[in-house]
Amino acid sequence: MRDIINLWDWDTLFDAFPSIFAAMWLTIGLTFACYAFALVFGIVWTVLRRIPIRPIYWLVTFIMNFIRTTPPLVQLILIYVGLPDVGIILGSITAAILGLGIHFSTYISEIYRSGIESVSKGQWEAATALNYTKFQKWTKIILPQAIPPVIPMLGNYLIIMFKEVPLASAIGVSGMLLMANIYGAKHLEYIEPLTIVAFFFLLMSYPSSLLIKRLEKKMNRRFEKKVGSSDNGKEVTAS
Amino acid sequence: MTEPIVKYTDVHKYFGDLEVLKGIDLEVMPGEKLSLIGPSGSGKTTIIRMLMTLEQPTSGVIEVEGEPLWHKEVNGQLVPADEKHLHKVRGKIGMVFQHFNLFPHMTILKNCTSAPVNVLGISKEEAKERAVEMLEKVGLADKMDNYPAQLSGGQQQRVAIARALVMQPKVMLFDEATSALDPETVGEVLEIIRDIAKEGKMAMILVTHEMEFARDVSDRIVFLEDGVLTEQGPPEEVLGNPKSERLKSFLERFIQTSTSN
């Protein structure tokens, strides 16, 4: 019993709180920066994969799979300590944005792809028949139908990204985790500062996930209402 | 003599190794109403899809108002057309699809005004005026603030017709426009198409399985079998007095299935 009581000390908690709270903003900011990068870079993958030249498709798909199937931590360290060998020296925050951003962009690209593929061939054909230009087809017809249904999935990745950002502490980004570690090392008290970190993550992730669930329900309803009956099940009219 | 508005010359189409169209020669005159009939898989739909630039012919030439559609003349030679050329010629053609293909994210009105504004470049007001006029013609002006999914299949198809009409094409294609409809809504759509046909200005090519309707609206009926145009002529002649055995048995099968309905 004594040990457990010693393990937890409220004074330590309050002592550790300010530095971790201050670092929270960096963690949040970094999450959004990585996410924005991933959203944009995801477009690049998606566009590259749509170039109708087979070898390009294979190459891009291979690179994407490579990025996706290797640990983001390895990629981060590679970018941070590996790239200087070829003369590219990046600050830890830039390296984190690049590393996590590229890693997640491969997933985001898959989401874009699924959204685009969910738009039926008939929509493309109708757009052609009405003589839209290629650019107009994308902006007026395809993307407005492809994006809304995948917004909840994109939101999920924001939360996943948020939880992966502490990996950046490995390359010296002083987010919440690194600050907690530093505090722990200095005072030999790890439980309290790490609990604070976990609590902050919970505080932000959980409401966000609820929000996304609501969004998902809303999108599903909206999509059912609007698409639904247009071209299913009518081919077979029994005689 | 007036020039044909659409002319197919020895058009072949392969899907992989399968030859779907085996040398089509066909002329359509301005304002003419032409129906394509034939068993499914005979290539009827492919003929009009090539004219809408949704399929590329493997060989042969399709002309619209004397101008090659899939080809461009450069120094007296025909070379494959680029998107710019297709865009120019395609503007004369309109199409109504079997599955309507309305844009689900736009209201009925927006479905009818988006292309005129973005493609023809007319003002929003004028586009709305035109759209409302066409929606009145198909009897759906009161639905213009609804979304497609809130309409029945027949209503959606009527909107699709209005949407195509707003673009004022010279040739209008109907790809089995009633095949995907519930039986009770087929009539309302055929009625609209019949009205448009009566107005007369626009050439129409209809792929259809509605024989009575084809007889009623067409100036000429073409029978297609296995990728070849085997018989054509005025409706009474083709439907009333078929020459080939194959057309005879096709029509008989048809009468059987429609009476058993």
Per-residue pLDDT of B36-79, as tens digits, reads 999 988 899 999 999 999 999 999 999 999 899 998 888 888 88
Pairing of strands B228-233, B71-74: unpaired
* Residues of chain A found within 8 Å of residue B53, distances taken between Cβ atoms: 128
Q: Which domains does chain B have, with CATH numbers?
A: 1-92+203-261 (3.40.50.300)
Token pair of A28 as six digits: 């949040």
A230 belongs to a structural domain: no
- Residues A85-129 pLDDT 10s: 888 888 999 999 999 999 999 999 999 999 999 999 999 999 999
Distance (Å) from the alpha carbon of B114 to chain A's nearest alpha carbon: 9
Nearest C-alpha neighbor of A227 from the set A122, A130, A110: A122
Q: Is residue A147 part of a domain?
A: yes
Nearest to A122 among B97, B149, B260 (CB): B97
- List the one residue out of A171, A210, A169, A209 whose CA is nearest residue A193: A169
Q: Assess if residue A239 is contained within a domain.
A: no
CA distance A90 to A93: 8
Number of domains in chain A: 1
Q: Which residues of B touch A129 (CB under 8 A)?
A: 52, 54, 93-95, 97, 164
| pLDDT of A81 | 92
Question: In this complex, which of B87, B102, B179 lies closest to A230 when CB atoms are compared?
Answer: B102
Cα-Cα-Cα-Cα dihedral sign, residues B122, B128, B129, B134: positive
B10-24 average pLDDT score: 94
Residue A109 resides in a domain? yes
Beta carbons within 8 Å of A163's beta carbon, 6+ residues apart? A201, A205
- Taking contacts as CB-CB distances below 8 angstroms, the residues of chain A near B115 are 130-132
Q: What is the pLDDT of residue A159?
A: 92
Is there a contact between B242 and B252 (Cβ–Cβ < 8 Å)? no
Identify which has the larger pLDDT, B32 or A232: B32
If residue B37 lies in a helix (H) or strand (E), which one and from where to where? strand B33-37
Cβ distance A225 to B150 less than 8 Å, yes or no, reads: yes
Rounded Cα–Cα distance for residues A123 and B127 (Å)? 21
Is A170 within a domain? yes
Domain membership of residue A36 (yes or no) is yes
Q: Please give the Cα distance from A104 to A115 (Å, whole number).
A: 17
Q: What is the pLDDT of residue A238?
A: 33
Contact residues of B toward A, CB < 8 A: 52-54, 83, 87, 90-91, 93-95, 97, 99-105, 114-115, 118-119, 147-150, 153, 156, 163-164, 167, 179-183, 257, 260-261
Contact B70, B76 (CB under 8 A): no
- DSSP code per residue over A76-142: HHIIIIIGGGGT----HHHHHHHHHHHHHHHHHHHHHHHHHHTS-HHHHHHHHHTT--HHHIIIIII
Output the CA torsion sign for B238, B241, B244, B248: positive
What's the length of chain A? 239
Those residues of chain A that have pLDDT short of 50 are 1, 226-239
Q: Quick one: pLDDT at residue B257?
A: 60
Interface contact flag, A230 B148, Cβ < 8 Å: yes
Query: Count of A–B CB contacts within 8 Å?
Result: 90
Q: Is residue A202 part of a domain?
A: yes
Smallest CA-to-CA distance from B202 within B62, B96, B56 is with: B96
Chain A nearest-CA distance from B23, in A, is 25
Identify the domain containing residue A182 by its residue range.
2-225
pLDDT, position B261: 43
Interface predicted TM-score of the whole assembly (ipTM), two decimals: 0.92
CATH of the domain at A28: 1.10.3720.10
For the segment B12-34, the average pLDDT, to the nearest whole number, is 95
Nearest CA in chain A to B157: A230
Nearest Cα of chain B lies from the Cα of A89 at a distance, in angstroms, of 45
Residue A200's CB is within 10 A of a number of other CB atoms, namely 18
Residue identified by tokens 């096709």 is B250
Q: What type of residue sits at position B19?
A: E
